[in-house]
């Protein structure tokens, strides 16, 4: 599935659950103890992570921790351990209890981790994020939530000759926080993401707010990209003119 376009994130999540259930978690009560050793579960976890990346429309360099949290799908080792506990209990009412136990372990690991701290700053409570009833992730919104995308601070990691300074604010680093909260380039779009909730239904307000955040994310990324593509076409036309001349 492509990062941009295609099925929405909730449907992609359904596909990921199918992959986990049929392929990765088959016989989990038997091999779950082996999952405690990193070397044994590495290949299966890689496939699990790729499925989660498709859910959020993320790039390959997004950390494992942020990928799982944004997708709302626990790490494979925790899922296998949950299946093993359910198999030993064999009670219909145990599913919710074991899922809460899995979320508790996942939350502890998320708080202890030293990676994806920008994502942790935005999404501190995993259960609240998973149980939300509004908003769909997309390629652009994922870049905001991970801080990895078309930001000069992030691009400098792969191109050391590129400056990380914001072109409008020379004294500031162009990262996710600066672009979405401080940079004057997007002040107009930023104002539309803070509508007042007075006189509106709370659920509808959250849904509208999520749509506005996604719109801001698209505008922040598509505007510079559109300019770069236009300049690229102009340069190409100039080169063709020189050759023909």
The tens digit of pLDDT for each residue in 132-167 reads: 888 889 888 898 899 887 787 777 776 766 788 888
Is 177 part of a structural domain of the chain?
yes
Q: What is the mean pLDDT of the chain?
A: 79
Q: What percent of the chain has pLDDT over 90?
A: 27
Identify the domain containing residue 97 by its residue range: 9-131
Residues 171 and 67 in one domain: no
pLDDT(186) > 80? yes
Q: What percent of the chain has pLDDT over 70?
A: 75
User: Average pLDDT for residues 41-49, to the nearest whole number?
Assistant: 88
Is 164 part of a structural domain of the chain?
yes
Is 245 part of a structural domain of the chain?
no
Is 224 part of a structural domain of the chain?
no
Query: Alpha carbon 13 to chain centroid distance?
Result: 12
Is 215 part of a structural domain of the chain?
no
Residues 162 and 62 in one domain: no
* Residue carrying structure tokens 């104002």: 191
pLDDT at residue 29, rounded to an integer: 83
pLDDT at residue 87, rounded to an integer: 85
Residues 37 and 75 in one domain: yes
- Structurally, how many domains does the chain consist of? 2
pLDDT at residue 218, rounded to an integer: 54
């Amino acid at each position: 599935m492509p990062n941009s376009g295609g099925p929405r994130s909730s449907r992609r999540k359904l596909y990921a659950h199918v992959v986990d259930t049929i392929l990765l978690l088959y016989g989990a009560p038997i091999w779950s103890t082996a999952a405690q050793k990193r070397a044994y579960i590495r290949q299966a976890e890689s496939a699990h992570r790729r499925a989660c990346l498709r859910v959020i429309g993320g790039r390959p360099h997004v950390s494992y921790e942020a990928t799982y949290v944004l997708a709302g799908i626990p790490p494979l080792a925790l899922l296998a351990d949950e299946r093993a506990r359910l198999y030993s209990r064999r009670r219909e009412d145990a599913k919710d209890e074991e899922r809460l136990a899995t979320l508790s372990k996942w939350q502890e690991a998320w708080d202890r981790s030293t990676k994806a701290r920008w994502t942790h700053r935005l999404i501190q409570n995993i259960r609240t994020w998973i149980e939300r009833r509004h908003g769909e992730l997309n390629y652009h919104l994922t870049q905001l939530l991970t801080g990895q995308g078309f930001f000069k601070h992030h691009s400098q990691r792969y191109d050391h000759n590129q400056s990380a300074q914001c072109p409008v604010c020379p004294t500031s680093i162009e990262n996710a926080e600066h672009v979405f909260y401080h940079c004057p380039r997007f002040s107009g779009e930023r104002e539309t993401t803070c509508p007042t909730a007075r006189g509106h239904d709370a659920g509808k307000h959250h849904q509208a707010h999520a749509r506005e955040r996604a719109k801001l994310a698209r505008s922040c990324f598509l505007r510079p990209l559109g300019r770069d593509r236009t300049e690229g076409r102009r340069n190409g036309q100039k080169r063709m003119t020189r050759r023909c001349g």
